């Protein structure tokens, strides 16, 4: 997700659509429904934020859309705050199914070939070190990777996983 946030989106007629601010996805299916874009004045859209349907974009220093402004208009809808925002999940507490606090979401990985949120990384809570048998480092905090978005049971003001502590111990990679 970090590789998309902040990138400018340019159309083939060399008009700047705007800048990616967030990604919105389908609850618990993790399909990306749209890129939340803060539009530029040159786009001529007249809205400050829109939702751009994902497509076959070229992603580098900027995101290139292989269509003109007129064609892209059919892929744009008003931003819908009722759709889950992936950036709102960053910093949320993550609990196992047994109410074990693992830590907080640090990053979410996006598979842009399928436009799905695929996995996430958790910054471990210091109280999770001992139950996970992790040795404390002197300088940096530890992170857990190897967690798939499909491991999430529910999202509210916290995230609850489908797995308990013992299953998480065998699945996650600590770095």
Query: Which ranges constitute the DSSP H helices of 1-124?
Result: 69-72
| pLDDT tens figures, 45-102 | 777 899 999 998 999 999 999 998 889 988 899 998 899 999 999 999 999 999 999 9
Task: Give every CB contact of residue 130 below 8 A, 6+ residues apart in sequence.
Answer: none
Task: Give the pLDDT of residue 120.
Answer: 98
Using pLDDT thresholds of 50, 70 and 90, give the confidence band for residue 128: very high
- The whole-chain average pLDDT of the chain stands at 93
Domains of the chain: 8-85 (2.30.30), 90-174 (2.30.30.240)
Task: Give the pLDDT of residue 63.
Answer: 97
Task: Give the pLDDT of residue 139.
Answer: 64
Q: Measured between alpha carbons, how far is 171 from 47 in angstroms, rounded to an integer?
A: 44
Q: Measured between alpha carbons, how far is 92 from 104 in angstroms, rounded to an integer?
A: 5
């Amino acid at each position: 997700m970090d590789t998309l946030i902040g990138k400018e989106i340019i159309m083939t007629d060399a008009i700047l659509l705007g800048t990616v601010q967030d990604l919105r996805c389908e609850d618990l299916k993790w399909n990306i429904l749209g890129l939340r874009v803060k539009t530029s004045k040159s786009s001529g859209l007249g809205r400050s934020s829109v939702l751009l349907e994902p497509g076959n974009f070229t992603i580098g220093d900027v995101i290139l859309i292989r269509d003109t402004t007129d064609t892209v208009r059919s892929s744009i809808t008003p931003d819908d705050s009722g759709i889950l925002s992936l950036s709102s999940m960053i910093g949320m507490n993550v609990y196992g199914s047994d109410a074990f606090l693992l830590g907080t979401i640090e990053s979410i990985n996006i598979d842009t070939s399928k436009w799905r949120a695929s996995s996430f990384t958790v910054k471990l809570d210091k109280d999770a070190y001992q139950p996970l048998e992790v040795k404390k480092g002197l300088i940096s905090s530890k992170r857990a990777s190897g967690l798939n978005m499909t491991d999430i049971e529910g999202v509210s003001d916290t995230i609850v996983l489908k797995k308990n502590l013992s299953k998480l111990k065998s699945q996650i990679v600590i770095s």
